[in-house]
Amino acid sequence: MWPALPDRPLNLYLFIPILILFLLMAHRFVAAKSKNFRLPAGPKPLPIIGNVHQMLNGRPIEIMQKWHQEYGPMVTLRYGQQLAISVGSFDIAQDLMGKRGAIYSSRPRFIIASERMTGGLNSAIIPYGKKWQNQHRIMNSVLDPSAVTRYRGVQDMESKQALVELLATSDFEASISRYAGSIVMTLGYGIRLEHTSNEIPTKLLQLNAHPFDAIGNSYYKAVELFPILDGLPGFLAPWKRLSADVERKTTEFHMKHFEVAKSASTWNWVQNALHSKAGSQTSPKELAYVIGTLEQAGFEANLTVLRLLIKVIVLHPHCLEEAQRELDRVVGPDRLPSFDDFPQLPYIKAMINEAMRWQPPTPFAIPHATTEDDEYMSYTIPNGTVIIPNIWVMSFDPDIFPEPHEFKPERWIQNPTLEHSPFGFGRRICPGRHLGWSSIFILMARLMWAYNITHAYRDGKRIDIDPWDIKITFTAASKPFEASFQVRDQKKQDIIERGWKAVRENTAEILEELRPKKTM
């Protein structure tokens, strides 16, 4: 069993006096250090806790939107003694984290999530430096566009299995979980998930949930906000034991699959890493975490977006109708959509873009951190400042996206120059974005070609969906909901069944296509 995250601190009364003493001293030090910097405007902080109390007065996304409306595209905040700047402008985010990436590409210190729960080995949250650069080289070697093209056979096979699964049930959650999980497990370890009952997708979600939820969980928040608390002895710091338990289980999961992958008959990312120059300079445990991080992030990101798109389709049936008209015109009735159809399916692309704008999968992304002082727009941004790419605020900017709360795919067709960055910015942009996009596109295009996707009914009553019933941590994930999948006609059902039969009988050949061709 994975340890549950408590809702509130244990034994907090034991270190309140210590907290007050040290934080008063820290507050004076930080205040003195930053008083000469010209910073963007922001809500007034309280001594010691900063703006934390204001973030508890509602939903963070709404509070941050209000602050940006009041103070502008850059808002200065304090989380405990940590200085932070929320960036709510795409152009400014590109300036800072893109053009000035040499300064803005690091991460804040995550005591629980990075140092304790993942041993400082999760590439998504470690600081910028030689370790991250080495890990990034390993990731890019299997995730650049040319490599991703080789994975189309696996994506084709897994999407055909998902299509045939939905002929028998409308339990789309099980099918898209297996689909997203099987793609990353096949590529990462050479392990296909052949059944929706496989427990690996659930375990992947748990692996991700603990470090990222910990940052926003009240039990750990005091430690992240006030790092001095991590120096307390173990009997006053129960988070150390819980974090160690998470780290142990995470390492066990990654190492177990790492060892399986080494001798797998199917080419996989582990084997590729072991034979690379960067991999040869990396310990087995760190390599296991590099691949494991890709597994965790790739699975949850794809699952989140696929679930969001299905919700969008149910809530906006006219969008499904428009997408089906496009698919019927471009693809026709005699075959499934293919990757080659993508350039001729602008409305499908617009639906995916609009979904990721309307409910960004990572509303605040993962914060960046500066590594030296910087001057920008008459401001002085100190070394060590946390930079929050506020993708939610950017996505709801009415000057860029009129009527931002409305779901309107057509805005991307009417204005092809619209810019959005759901995958992050600069050097820390998601390395799996090409694989993620193609996996989402091929499954959603095929689902909309094959099925009418509508509200589910129970006892003759429609089961409504609250579009804003989402859980927000580092991701914005739609809460579970039901939908009905009805195949559009018998001919499409026959094509689905024949397509799955063909790939099922040729699985070995499809997996062999993953192996890079030897160059002379």
The predicted pLDDT at position 48 comes to 86
Domain for residue 72, yes or no?
yes
Based on C-alpha coordinates, what's the Rg of the chain? Answer: 24
The predicted pLDDT at position 25 comes to 52
**Domain of residue 188, CATH code:** 1.10.630.10
Domain for residue 7, yes or no?
no
The predicted pLDDT at position 20 comes to 54
CB 496 within 8 A of CB 450: yes
Helical ranges in 118-190 per DSSP H: 130-143, 145-150, 152-168, 172-189
Rounded average pLDDT over 336-340: 98
The CA-atom distances, in angstroms, between 202 and each of 112, 182, 186 are 22, 12, 16
pLDDT at 487 over 50: yes
Query: Which residues have a Cβ under 8 Å from the Cβ of 263 and sit 6 or more positions away?
Result: none
pLDDT at 226 over 50: yes
The predicted pLDDT at position 117 comes to 94
Q: What digits encode the pLDDT tens for the residues 18-62? A: 555 555 555 554 554 555 789 999 999 999 889 988 988 788 899
Mean pLDDT of the chain: 92
Identify the band that residue 227 occupies on the pLDDT scale cut at 50, 70 and 90.
confident
Q: Is 319 annotated as a binding residue?
A: no
Dist CA 470 CA 464 (whole Å): 15
Instruction: Give 148 or 419, the one with higher predicted confidence.
Output: 148
Which domain does 208 fall in, by range? 12-512
The predicted pLDDT at position 30 comes to 52
Flag the least confident range among 220-224, 275-279, 284-288, 445-449: 220-224
DSSP one-letter code for 106: B
Dist CA 322 CA 52 (whole Å): 45
The predicted pLDDT at position 470 comes to 93
Report angle CA 228, 234, 237 to the nearest 5 degrees. 55
The CA-atom distances, in angstroms, between 194 and each of 182, 183, 302, 485 are 8, 11, 18, 21
Domain for residue 519, yes or no?
no
Rounded average pLDDT over 117-143: 97
The predicted pLDDT at position 14 comes to 42
CB 440 within 8 A of CB 305: yes
Angle between helices 433-450 and 152-168 (to 10 degrees): 40
Flag the least confident range among 86-90, 253-257, 474-478: 474-478
The predicted pLDDT at position 12 comes to 46
Domain for residue 1, yes or no?
no
The predicted pLDDT at position 306 comes to 98
Structural domains in the chain (count): 1
pLDDT at 473 over 70: yes
Which uninterrupted H or E stretch holds 386?
Answer: strand 386-389
DSSP one-letter code for 89: -
pLDDT at 7 over 70: no
Q: What digits encode the pLDDT tens for the residues 394-429? A: 999 999 999 999 999 999 999 999 988 899 999 999
Phi, psi of 453 (to 5 degrees): -115, 115
The predicted pLDDT at position 17 comes to 47
Q: What digits encode the pLDDT tens for the residues 300-329? A: 999 999 999 999 999 999 999 999 999 999
Tokens standing for residue 264: 């797998």
Query: Which residues have a Cβ under 8 Å from the Cβ of 208 and sit 6 or more positions away?
Result: 296, 297, 299, 300
pLDDT at 72 over 60: yes
Domain for residue 498, yes or no?
yes
Q: Look at residue 426 and give its three-state secondary structure.
A: helix
pLDDT at 110 over 90: yes
- Percent of the chain exceeding pLDDT 70 equals 91
Domain for residue 47, yes or no?
yes
Domain for residue 6, yes or no?
no
The predicted pLDDT at position 471 comes to 87
Rounded average pLDDT over 205-219: 70
pLDDT at 217 over 90: no
The predicted pLDDT at position 346 comes to 98
Dist CA 132 CA 124 (whole Å): 9
Q: What digits encode the pLDDT tens for the residues 347-403? A: 999 999 999 999 999 999 999 999 999 999 999 999 999 999 999 999 999 999 999
> What proportions of the chain, in percent to the nearest 5, are helix, strand and coil?
55, 10, 35
Rounded average pLDDT over 107-118: 94
Domain for residue 152, yes or no?
yes
Tokens standing for residue 140: 């890019």
